[in-house]
Structure 1
Amino acid sequence: MRNLYLFSIPLLFFACSPEDKKIDLSGKWIGEISMQGKTMPFEMQIQEEQDGGIKARIINGKEEIVLDEIQKRNDSLHIPLHIFDISIDVKIGHNVLAGTYTKHYEEDYVLPITFHKGENRFKSFSDETPADFSGKWEVTFIEPKEQDTTEAVGIFEQNGSDIKGTFLTPLGDYRYLVGRAEGNRMKLSTFDGNHAFLFEAEIQNDNTLKGDFYSGKEWYESWTAFRNEDAELPNPDSLTYLKKGYDNIRFSFPNLEGEKVSLTDEKYQDKVVIVQIFGTWCPNCMDETKFLTKWYDENKDRGVEIIGLAYEAKDDFDYAKSRVEKMIDKYDVNYDFLIAGTNDKEEASKTLPMLNQVISFPTMIIIDKNGELVNIHTGFSGPGTGKYYDEFIQDFNAKMDSLLNK
């Protein structure tokens, strides 16, 4: 998935009185990230524990992301965002939290953020009865500078003014989107710690959609859509493949102890091997990692191994190792990980020259017990896609059962 204004933001937004410091932090807060002249809202539930600790959950519809490393420092909160090298730092004011959202692995990536207590993610923007946005839409995203286009499928469910759904693209999905419809307009957003997505759209006179997509600090695309219940994307098993002249997958990368590991090592002989191309900075990759972790724990005695090839945000072994170790701890992952390179797709492709290209994080490669390539699956349709996730699981289990039972 894809992820300039430089803000100079003082952290001292408020002169806090003793009364301010006694504010009850527990409850539902609406966070608002200021980006590209827009406000990207999300929901966060905060709970003050009896021992003085603080926990929180970012909520996107059915998704809940637990934040359990929050530190309260006098009248400030430092909120690390799950496994990501990202934090929110806010001052506690009178019924408001205000400060900054910072991606520490990117240079000068700081955005203003505020929180206020409330229930509704989006403020009302019209008093009109909402149009019907539900169903399946054939979507085209358009990047304005190069006029590059990406085909996608939008799937939305609507209950009155409440709307939820996602976009499926050839490289993965846009996860759990939640929003509001009023009149001919709708707004959707999601925040998973790394991605801050805002979608806006309006129904046109010809019943098509015309909209805007804002992602984080500077990425923007326009988009158009029309209803099409038969809309489909290219087969994800056909997008990444071996180049002519290559007959298999080969690599040698260091594990977390710095020792080189290859598919020819004894551990992987006569076993089915899943190779996961991923990065800990990538929420779609984390969806796949959670799925593979559970599946591996239930099936590891059947003659299967998984190797995660980590492509991290910095070309620094110790940094990459620390990010992978944090992910392992958070998700209790028991399969192997190697440090393979950086998340630049062009550079990542150089590390696996037998592939036509590394076009998506994640990408899953399946190798049979004889060491022969079986399948390469590009992207991942995660749990936010509903039936598409269920269909992936069904297909994956059938494929693995066939290989493991031979």
Structure 2
Amino acid sequence: MKQILTFLTTTLFLTAVHAQTLKTGVWRGGLQRTDGNEIAFNFDVKQVQGKSVFIIHNAAERLEVKDISFDGDSCFINMPFFESQFRLKVVNNGELAGLWIRGSSSKNLVVPFKAVYGSTERYPVTSRPSYNVTGKWATSFLSTDGNEQAIAELVQKGQKLTGTFLTATGDYRYLEGVVNKDSLQMSGFDGGHAYYFSAKIKDAKHLSDGVFVSGPVYKQSWTAERNDTATLPRNEAAMYVNPGEDKLDFTFTDLDGKKVSINDTRFKNKVVVIQIMGSWCPNCMDETAFLSRFYDKNKNRGIEMIALAYEYSEDLQRSQKSLLKFQQRFNVQYPILITGVKASDTLRTQKTLPQLTPIKTFPSTVFIGKDGKVKKIDTGFNGPGTGVHYDEYKKEFNKIIDELLINAER
């Protein structure tokens, strides 16, 4: 079932006499890296009540973007998350060219962008596939600091390829691409994160010469071997409660400026789920969607949730603006608290949750029993783009909650 993320903030200002309109229909966009590895994605433009709407395609996912404005021959597309924006010019009979700009903890990331109207391809295909790569692949991302093990889950239908890569701490969300003779290409763009993967299909069981790029400059090599029983290594990003500790103790400000504490009456004698997250984190976005739905259905069972946000900046207003988009988009009814500590701060755990060993990955999830004691900590998240792995995660999450509720009644 296709996932449709609908972003509700809508602005359209026509501030020039010769304000442009965008052609409705299919487009192909591409982020133009200097090394020639283009991060491509497809999108539709529709007119809804006289306003332009972008719908970005990533495999089964559809990302709807409504915050679009025009000024003369310029077009500004504000992505709903990740402090991300396109600044474009309408050129060449309605085509688009300009920049993709995304905020970060330091300076903005900037990548040239262009889009062509009427193109339905993600990447060109010139020859029929020599192999079918559908299946599970044990993958190694290569680095001088040590290789990272991952699993590629791929589905090939003719020349079309979809799938994702899972690591011990999360996944690369929805990827889409093609198989062209003995090579593959896949990409994904969610408004804040841009990924491209390519590889040679050496034979039916081996992928070689893999290239992974992200954003404007990051690049890494990878290889893979078909393995239907592949598993991920033990999660080295695991978190624990420090010796001598069993309860958390924190107070932070919510998005309305009110102080909220884990010791508040609201959370007494409840099973409490603590979500360690950030609005910049793509897996946190998927986890928030899941947790929000779960909370709505289960809050009357004696369950509470709290999100602790670690953002790009210590600027509370900047953090609040980004987190409000999360809250509104996913209709989050549990408190989202601003820790005021940057996600990149190496002392983030000591400053906020000193009872725990260091936070090494986002998201992480802390399960607290009705007695107020930490019972379990999970790190990472397998999102809906991982298929069966996402289903397994949901089953395990429900099992943990049910056990905590049952044990509390004994």
> Does the pair score TM above 0.5?
yes
Match of 1:388 in 2: 389
Q: Is the 8 A contact 1:237 1:378 kept in 2?
A: no
Q: Does 1:163 align with 2:161?
A: yes
- Measured after TM superposition, the shift of residue 184 of structure 1 is 1.5
State the secondary structure of the residue aligned to 1:204: strand
TM-score (norm 1): 0.89
Match of 1:354 in 2: 355
- Structure 2: where are the runs of 5+ without partners? 1-17
RMSD: 2.0
Match of 2:77 in 1: 79
Cα distance change on mapping 1:236 and 1:147 into 2, 3 Å: closer
Match of 1:370 in 2: 371
Match of 1:339 in 2: 338
Cα distance change on mapping 1:218 and 1:238 into 2, 3 Å: closer
Match of 1:3 in 2: none
Match of 2:145 in 1: 147
Cα distance change on mapping 1:135 and 1:39 into 2, 3 Å: same
Letter in 2 for 1:390: D
Q: Measure the CA separation in 2 of the matches of 1:279 and 1:216.
A: 19
Write out per-residue CA displacement over residues 341-388 of structure 1, whole angstroms, 9 at most, x where no aligned residue: 211162323332332221111111110111111211111100000011
Match of 1:120 in 2: 121
Write out per-residue CA displacement over residues 294-324 of structure 1, whole angstroms, 9 at most, x where no aligned residue: 1111111111111000011111111111211
Matches within 5 A, 1:174-185: 174-185=172-183
Letter in 2 for 1:233: L
Match of 1:15 in 2: none
Q: Measure the CA separation in 1 of the matches of 2:24 and 2:347.
A: 45
- Measured after TM superposition, the shift of residue 238 of structure 1 is 8.3
State the secondary structure of the residue aligned to 2:304: strand
Matches within 5 A, 1:167-246: 167-204=165-202, 207-210=205-208, 211-234=210-233, 239-246=238-245
- Measured after TM superposition, the shift of residue 68 of structure 1 is 1.4
Q: Measure the CA separation in 2 of the matches of 1:137 and 1:76.
A: 44
Q: Measure the CA separation in 1 of the matches of 2:202 and 2:405.
A: 52
Match of 2:14 in 1: none
Q: Is the 8 A contact 2:132 2:204 kept in 1?
A: no
Write out per-residue CA displacement over residues 91-128 of structure 1, whole angstroms, 9 at most, x where no aligned residue: 1121411111001345142110001121111122x425
Q: Is the 8 A contact 1:237 1:376 kept in 2?
A: no
- Measured after TM superposition, the shift of residue 78 of structure 1 is 0.8
Q: Measure the CA separation in 1 of the matches of 2:130 and 2:366.
A: 44
Q: After the TM superposition, which parts of structure 1 deviate over 6 Å for at least 4 consecutive aligned residues?
A: none
Letter in 2 for 1:123: P
TM-score (norm 2): 0.88
Cα distance change on mapping 1:22 and 1:314 into 2, 3 Å: closer
Q: Is the 8 A contact 2:239 2:379 kept in 1?
A: yes
Q: Measure the CA separation in 1 of the matches of 2:130 and 2:204.
A: 17
Letter in 2 for 1:116: V
Q: Measure the CA separation in 2 of the matches of 1:83 and 1:205.
A: 40
Letter in 2 for 1:137: W
State the secondary structure of the residue aligned to 2:289: helix
Q: Is the 8 A contact 1:243 1:355 kept in 2?
A: yes
State the secondary structure of the residue aligned to 1:346: coil
Which residue of 28, 31, 53 maps to 2:29?
Answer: 31
Q: Measure the CA separation in 2 of the matches of 1:235 and 1:142.
A: 18
Q: Measure the CA separation in 2 of the matches of 1:401 and 1:78.
A: 47
Match of 1:103 in 2: 102
User: Percent same amino acid at aligned positions?
Assistant: 35
Q: Measure the CA separation in 1 of the matches of 2:108 and 2:338.
A: 26
Cα distance change on mapping 1:87 and 1:127 into 2, 3 Å: same
Q: Is the 8 A contact 2:142 2:221 kept in 1?
A: yes
Please identify, of 198-207 and 97-106, the stretch whose mean Cα deviation from structure 2 is larger: 198-207
- Structure 1: where are the runs of 5+ without partners? 1-17
Q: Is the 8 A contact 1:383 1:389 kept in 2?
A: yes
Q: Measure the CA separation in 2 of the matches of 1:195 and 1:361.
A: 15
Matches within 5 A, 1:316-331: 316-331=315-330
Please identify, of 325-334 and 171-180, the stretch whose mean Cα deviation from structure 2 is larger: 325-334
Q: Is the 8 A contact 1:131 1:182 kept in 2?
A: no
Q: Measure the CA separation in 2 of the matches of 1:352 and 1:198.
A: 36
- Measured after TM superposition, the shift of residue 200 of structure 1 is 0.6
Write out per-residue CA displacement over residues 199-234 of structure 1, whole angstroms, 9 at most, x where no aligned residue: 011123694222010010122111111111111114
Match of 1:137 in 2: 137
Letter in 1 for 2:199: A
Q: Measure the CA separation in 2 of the matches of 1:134 and 1:257.
A: 48
Q: Measure the CA separation in 1 of the matches of 2:95 and 2:273.
A: 47
Match of 2:308 in 1: 309
Cα distance change on mapping 1:79 and 1:364 into 2, 3 Å: same
- Measured after TM superposition, the shift of residue 236 of structure 1 is 5.7
Q: Measure the CA separation in 1 of the matches of 2:234 and 2:272.
A: 22
Q: Is the 8 A contact 1:57 1:64 kept in 2?
A: yes
Q: Measure the CA separation in 2 of the matches of 1:101 and 1:22.
A: 19
